[in-house]
Structure 1
Amino acid sequence: MLSEFQDTLLESVKAFQSTQLVMNKYENVLQHMDSGIMLFDSEGVLTFINVQMAKLLETPRHALIGCNLLQILLHPHLNQFKKRKILRIYRETIFYRKKNHEVIDEYGRHWLITVKYGDQMDGDFLLSVKDVSEFRQIEQTAYQNDKLAMLGKISAAIAHEIRNPLTTIRGFIQLLRPHLVQLGKDEYARIILAEIDRANDIIFEFLNSSKPTAPQMVVVSVYSLLKEVVLLTESEGHMKGCEINLLLSEDANMNVSIDVKQIKQVLLNIIKNALDAIEEVKCDHSGVINITAKPEGKYVNISIQDNGNGIDKTLLAHLFDPFFTTKEKGTGLGLSVSYRIVRNHKGTISVDSIKGAGTIFEIWLPMV
């Protein structure tokens, strides 16, 4: 009888050890997932948090285990930004029954948050967080390309329909101009001609943004390219009280195969925007635009940084959209054209900005 009891006890111990090994294995898997995971029990107490989630919250795991939601919101290790996001997710989950949330953190990354609860969770709440920034970037790029393709169709359709009558109107105004001069109304003719020319310029920008000409590639030195761009813009910079610095030595051995005219158009457009942003700043400090270049793998990274007015973070995602502009008299086509030109060169372009502190544009071009 005793022997049977010992055998049963031994089997129970082995079964327990086996179960414990499996649980440890599963816990180890959860700990090292690339998604952040938190588990709250039915009383709202945090019973499990993995390594990734602790990193996202920038708080040690042991400091959070055993805390309820109120204690987490009052936790000294968590910053105010994260506390507000947690509270928002709690409200939307409890009051609006939302189980999927998407938030953008203070670093501009996109996170997909999923909350699971109900009978299948035995009263527990499982919260998982996954970084979807790369997917959003791919989605944004595809969306951008779709819009540019649509812009091409629109531009091709309207160009001939509008330009032809504008040319006719311009011709008749010029014929009537002597009569207007006799009536003392020459100013009217001048204004009409100027407005017609402006309309033609906008149509020309439409055509350029819809279908830039195929790049005529030549190999050029990055230094000589940037030096020429600085020479073209420094006089306007001086007029606006802005210093344009090329922080690159002449012996920097970096060459790119580009259409010089097109890439110069991109660089001049960005610098012009930087000058406008600096002009908007109503303060005593002088404007500065720093232009640098450095090799990054198979690419050359060209950056243009200013200390101008900056751009709100919420607007950055739309900056390369056709017709989107932050300027009162802008057409919203300059940066969309720049985006298309850089993409046609097998490169990439990005922007980052802090409102009130300045903006940095970065362009990556394949290096020869």
Structure 2
Amino acid sequence: MGDIQETLLQSLEAFQSTQLVKNKYENILEHLDSGIMLFDSEGVLTFINVQMAKLLEVSRKSLTGCTMVQILRHPQLSRYKKKKILRIYRETLIHRKKYHELTDESGRQWLLTVTDGDQMDGDYLFSVKDVSDFKQIEQTAYRNDKLAMLGKISASIAHEIRNPLTAIRGFIQLLRPHLIKLGKDEYARIILMEIDRANDIIYEFLNSSKPSAPQTTVISVPSLLKEVVLLTESEALMKGCQVILHEDSLPLHISVDVKQIKQVILNIVKNAMDAIDHLSGENGGLIEIRAHRDQKNVHICISDNGRGMDHNTLTHLFDPFFTTKESGTGLGLSVSYRIIKNHKGYIAVNSTVGEGTEFIISLPIVEMA
């Protein structure tokens, strides 16, 4: 009898030990930053952790024990997520796809990995990880590579193009008196204008690869923004839109190359004007400019109520030569990106299609004594 009791006690201790280990590992899985779902060989969801339930925005209790069909019919699951899950399910079963890249409603990017086969005893493990930061680093590295390549190209061809343009311009000016006599001065004017435009594109092309080093001066942010608004008033009036500056009573100062920073802000404001040129009447285009600070930076915010941008446009926004305009060079924002980076700052963009766009330029603050 004593032997039986001892055996039972050992079995109980072994069970409790196994249960403790199981609880420990389940607790770890519960609180991973990756979302996890485990389906058994019958297609029933046997485990889902806290992170995955948060991503799906459905309670774990209501999902555990469901089949894939039941999950797709779940009343709390959004239509958007149902479409994504169905696509992943089909690609996994039909094409045996192991990795899926997803973008959620807020624009964040996720990598979903499917594990099955002999090592899972017929089960299917789905794990999801937020890779937005990695993608951002990847895009920045790609952008920097393109800018470096652009610098090499521009250095080798800029003078070769500019020299003949200068010669052509000189000869057209010599011929201009003869063209005036023939009543063809308009031809000379158009040719000179187009040569100047070509020179401007080359200049912009050169600056996009390597803007000159900032010649910094400490300046008041409100006075800088007032000047920008004054420079854009006439164009805004012609386009029937408003540019409103919300002034902050707090003194804000930054140490910048005034010409370069003014170029960045004007470029963004002009882009905003292009985005709202379809609006008119009472609900006309509106551009709002404001500035505020935190402990380290001054944030200059430029928002509009225009068309807005989709995720694909936002992803490539600062790439050289990327443009959505028919006559654009695609260099303005890539130049702006490099200028702000050279000032130890950064540019952020928030945009929703049909609602508008906000650019936020952040630059190190200067504390005045």
What is the TM-score of this pair, normalised by structure 2?
A: 0.96
Structure 2: 5+ residue runs without aligned partners? Answer: none
Would you say the 8 A contact 1:350–1:361 is kept in 2? yes
- State the 4+ residue runs in structure 1 displaced beyond 4 angstroms: none
Within a 5 Å distance, the mapping from 1:1-368 to structure 2 comes to: 2-249=1-248, 251-281=249-279, 285-368=283-366
Kindly state the Cα deviation for residue 267 of structure 1 after the two structures are TM-superposed: 0.5
Structure 1: 5+ residue runs without aligned partners? Answer: none
Alpha carbon RMSD of aligned pairs, Å? Answer: 1.4
Letter in 2 for 1:106: E
Letter in 1 for 2:162: R
Would you say the 8 A contact 1:310–1:355 is kept in 2? yes
Residue-by-residue CA offset, 1:58-90 (whole Å, 9 max, x unaligned): 111111111111111111111111111111111
Cα distance, 1:173–1:197 mapped onto 2, change above 3 Å = same
Q: Distance in 2 between matches of 1:82 and 1:283?
A: 39
Q: Distance in 2 between matches of 1:153 and 1:68?
A: 57
Would you say the 8 A contact 2:240–2:280 is kept in 1? no
Would you say the 8 A contact 1:313–1:355 is kept in 2? no
Residue-by-residue CA offset, 1:198-224 (whole Å, 9 max, x unaligned): 111111111221221111112222222
Q: Distance in 2 between matches of 1:274 and 1:61?
A: 45
Q: Distance in 1 between matches of 2:192 and 2:226?
A: 37
Kindly state the Cα deviation for residue 234 of structure 1 after the two structures are TM-superposed: 2.2
User: SS of the counterpart of 2:283?
Assistant: coil
Would you say the 8 A contact 2:310–2:351 is kept in 1? yes
| Count of residues paired in the alignment | 366
Cα distance, 1:282–1:228 mapped onto 2, change above 3 Å = closer
Task: Answer with 78-87 or 179-188: which moved more.
Answer: 179-188
Kindly state the Cα deviation for residue 91 of structure 1 after the two structures are TM-superposed: 1.5
The percentage of counterpart residues that share the same residue type is 70
Q: Distance in 2 between matches of 1:345 and 1:159?
A: 26
Kindly state the Cα deviation for residue 177 of structure 1 after the two structures are TM-superposed: 2.8
User: SS of the counterpart of 1:356?
Assistant: coil
User: SS of the counterpart of 1:130?
Assistant: strand
Q: Distance in 1 between matches of 2:19 and 2:356?
A: 56
Cα distance, 1:254–1:183 mapped onto 2, change above 3 Å = closer
Cα distance, 1:283–1:123 mapped onto 2, change above 3 Å = farther
Letter in 2 for 1:274: A
Q: Distance in 2 between matches of 1:297 and 1:21?
A: 47
Kindly state the Cα deviation for residue 182 of structure 1 after the two structures are TM-superposed: 4.0
Letter in 1 for 2:238: M
Would you say the 8 A contact 2:44–2:67 is kept in 1? yes
